[in-house]
Chain A
Amino acid sequence: MTTTTEPATTTPAAPATIATGRLPMARLTLVELRKLADTRAGFWLLVVIGLATAGTSAIILGWSADQEMTFEGFFAFGLLPSAVLLPVLGVLSVTSEWSQRTALSTFTLVPTRGRVLIAKVTAGVLIAVAATVATAALSAVANVLGRALGGDGAWHLDASLLWQGLLLQVIFVLMGIGFGALLLSTPLAIVLYFALPMVWTILGEMIKGLHTAAGWLDLNVTTAPLSEADMTGNEYARLAVAAAVWVLVPLVAGTVRVLRREVT
């Protein structure tokens, strides 16, 4: 820090013209996207996701049978790291506002808190799209390498797998944002995000009476068909119900909490 403390030629007091227009949603979304990557935690999380995705390709190239080295194979496995770690970024995007207390400055610049949350959700969807596209690109590179190493190298990818892969990413990112908004505490939200569905899956498998319920309400079970081409209507219905419980409910309840909570 320097001590250039000249009694500065400072801010002229602007005429008090009160713009009634709201801040454009696109701008708020851009700000939220930037906030995902401009902190040390966010930046390294994205780096780790990138490296881990590359790692999945490396694993297939190094240890899989030749006929498994296809574009589809690389893509399906490559989605795994971002599906697991992007939701953590979603959690952080909300909880860090409270743990780092930036909510104070965020909401003084944008007092309509609901719009900030919408921007966060949009940013989350966009980062999920970006992750899916990046995974596809990385898989293409890996497939070219695989061909050179004597792999199958087939380029066929069922279009439904692309959309379903994207849906998987979006669902988990939004679930992360929902858990973050509902709990407003980074450690609590991350732990519960991973632990609760796992506990539910274990219970669903152990307790006979829960089998049917788990088929509709266990997100781990209902998202499994997303990795198979051409999901059926029934499978989509089950996924929709589970997503409503695990994504929509936390998002709505979390929004209510953020709107009401006093910012200190």
Chain B
Amino acid sequence: MITVENLTKRYGAQRAVDDVSFTCEPGTVTGFLGPNGAGKSTTMRMICGLTPPTSGSATVSGVPYRRLGNPGRHVGVLLDASAQHAGRTGRETLALAAMTMGLDTARVPERLARVGLNATAGKRRVRAYSLGMRQRLGLAYAMLGDPAVLILDEPANGLDPEGIFWMRGLLREFADRGGTVLLSSHLLREVEAVADRLVMIGGGRILTQGDKDVLLGAGGTVVRPEDPAAFDALLRRLDLTGSRSADGTVLVQSEPAPIARAAAATGVVLLEVRPAGVGGLEEMFLRLTGTTDPTEVTR
């Protein structure tokens, strides 16, 4: 469980994060979405007590992060996979974390294997790791203390498609066992496959948040009518507008149900009716975040 209440961070006159509130429930994966410089990382650092907020607060499992007795046993954090000592081996990196948390270092080889790093990789220094291997090491590091909560900043960066698929399975299973996951990304499609909830942020402010399915539904409905002219007439009666695609489908800004009902009542034949889904959400994402002037992006 993660609770974020009115978090704000100002750097001089600039508001990097502006009045951000959301909660992440146990058993769910929350996708934290926004373009580069939207304030995702700053928000996550404030949750983890690394950056003091200008105002507002955040708790993990009901406790401010800095008051957690042994945080590693409650929260797994991966904010930057490159932030490991280049001169330490992968195995040593995990061993130090295990020691700090009071865990047996004997679990380290097995944990490395779980994320796809074998004994040879574990003996190599992090300097020699690819970004993908560092992400895997970071995930093993975050999950080492068997936490109930995971906070991951762009964990799919540098992973190959197979690795991304694997990570989704890992996070899905973690949440299905009752874990809480907060996962950030600047790529909607990356998060869409695994998230239950979405929080969209742009220019430091929350743009929209809610259940993924609801947000996906809000993207509109794709309709393939048998007779386009009859369907246009129907839309006019419903006071809706549709945009026609080259493939003969029409995107309507509405829920599927009212369109289907009206079509059935008036005898207009529809060959296909479905939520616009991720395409519609992506459009919304770009529309919502498009207002951010790219020159203002600072990180």
Which A residues are closer than 8 A to B by beta carbons? 1-5, 7-8, 10-16, 18-24, 27-28, 30-31, 34-35, 38-42, 96, 100-105, 107-112, 262-264
Interface hits, B23-58 → A, CB 8 Å: 26, 45, 48-52
User: Interface SS of chain A: helix, strand, loop or mixed?
Assistant: loop
CA distance A111 to B77 in the complex (A): 12
Q: A16-B148, A19-B73, A27-B100 are in contact. Are A102 and B66 (CB under 8 A)?
A: no
A2 to B114, CA, bound (A): 11
Given A101-B82, A105-B97: A5 touches B162 (CB 8 Å cut-off) = yes
Question: Are A101 and B74 CB-contacts (below 8 A) given A8-B114, A34-B96?
Answer: no
CA distance A21 to B68 in the complex (A): 8
- CB pair B143 A109 closer than 8 Å: no
Complex: A106 Cα to B174 Cα, angstroms? 24
- Interface membership of chain B positions 248-281, coded 1 if the CB is closer than 8 angstroms to chain A and 0 otherwise: 0000000000000000000000000000000000
Instruction: Give min CB distance, A16 to chain B, whole Å.
Output: 4
- Of the candidate stretches B85-93, B183-191, B216-224, B282-290, the one touching chain A is B85-93
Interface positions, chain B 129-144, Cβ under 8 Å from A, are 130, 132-133, 136, 141, 143
Mark contacts of B82-118 with chain A using CB atoms, 8 A cut-off: 1 yes-contact digit, 0 otherwise. Answer: 1111111000100011011110000000000111111
A19 to B125, CA, bound (A): 33
Among B62, B63, B68, residue most surrounded by chain A Cβ atoms (within 10 Å): B68
* Closest A residue to B141 using CB positions: A105
Residues in B lying within 8 Å of A, measured CB to CB = 1, 26, 45, 48-52, 61-63, 65-75, 77, 79-80, 82-88, 92, 96-97, 99-102, 113-118, 121, 125, 130, 132-133, 136, 141, 143, 146-149, 162-163, 166, 169-170, 173-174, 177-180
Please state if A28 and B26 are interface contacts (CB–CB under 8 Å): no
Contact status of A22 and B170, CB under 8 A, knowing A4-B118, A111-B49 = no
The one of A8, A21, A105 that contacts B69, using a Cβ cutoff of 8 Å:
A21
Q: A2-B118, A263-B50 are in contact. Are A11 and B85 (CB under 8 A)?
A: no
What are 30 A-B interface contacts by the 8 Å CB criterion? A2-B118, A2-B121, A5-B116, A5-B166, A8-B173, A10-B114, A13-B147, A15-B148, A16-B26, A23-B102, A24-B102, A27-B102, A31-B96, A34-B99, A38-B88, A38-B92, A39-B88, A42-B87, A101-B83, A102-B84, A104-B79, A104-B83, A105-B141, A108-B71, A108-B72, A109-B72, A109-B101, A110-B100, A111-B49, A263-B45
List 8 A-B pairs, minimum CB-CB distance, nearest first.
Answer: A13-B179, A7-B169, A101-B83, A39-B87, A19-B69, A263-B50, A5-B166, A40-B87
- With A14-B147, A34-B96 known to touch, is A111 a contact of B87 (CB < 8 Å)? no
CB contacts (< 8 Å) of B173 on chain A: these are 7-8, 10
Given contacts A13-B177, A18-B61, contact A5 B87 (CB under 8 A): no
User: Measured between C-beta atoms, what is the minimum distance from B66 to chain A in Å?
Assistant: 4
Which residues in B have their C-beta under 8 angstroms from that of A104? 50, 79-80, 83
- The answer to whether B146 and A11 have CB atoms under 8 Å apart is yes
B285 CB → nearest A CB, Å: 26
Q: How far is the CA of A104 from the CA of B49 in the complex (A)?
A: 10
Which residues of B lie under 8 Å from residue A38 when comparing CB positions? 88, 92, 96
When the two chains form their complex, are residues B170 and A18 in contact, meaning their CB atoms are under 8 A apart?
no
Q: A263-B45, A263-B51 are in contact. Are A18 and B63 (CB under 8 A)?
A: yes
| Nearest A residue to B66, CB-CB | A111
Among B61, B83, B100, contact of A23 (Cβ-Cβ < 8 Å): B100
CB distance A2 to B116 under 8 Å?
A: yes
What residues of A have a CB within 8 angstroms of the CB of B163 in the complex? 5
How near does chain A come to B47, taking the closest CB pair, in angstroms?
A: 10
Distance between A97 CB and nearest chain B CB, rounded to angstroms: 9
A45 to chain B minimum Cβ distance, whole angstroms, is: 11
Closest to A35 in B: B96
Please state if A1 and B68 are interface contacts (CB–CB under 8 Å). no
The answer to whether B77 touches A108 (Cβ under 8 A) is yes
- Are A41 and B148 in contact, with the CB atoms below 8 A? no
Q: A5-B162, A23-B100, A108-B48 known; A96 and B116 CB under 8 Å?
A: no
Q: Return B189 CB to nearest CB of chain A, in Å.
A: 20
Q: Nearest Cβ in chain B — how far from A118, in angstroms?
A: 14
Given the contacts A4-B113, A39-B88, A11 and B174 also touching, CB distance less than 8 Å:
yes
B residues less than 8 Å from A108 (CB atoms): 48-50, 71-72, 75, 77, 79
Per the bound structure, the CA–CA distance linking A102 and B50 in Å amounts to 12
**Residues of chain A with a CB closer than 8 A to B147's CB:** 11, 13-14
Closest to B127 in A: A40
By a CB distance below 8 angstroms, the chain B residues around A2 are: 116-118, 121
Q: 18 more A-B contacts (CB under 8 A) besides A12-B177, A111-B68, A264-B51?
A: A2-B121, A8-B115, A10-B143, A11-B147, A13-B26, A18-B62, A22-B69, A24-B102, A34-B99, A38-B88, A39-B85, A39-B87, A102-B84, A105-B141, A108-B50, A110-B71, A263-B45, A263-B51
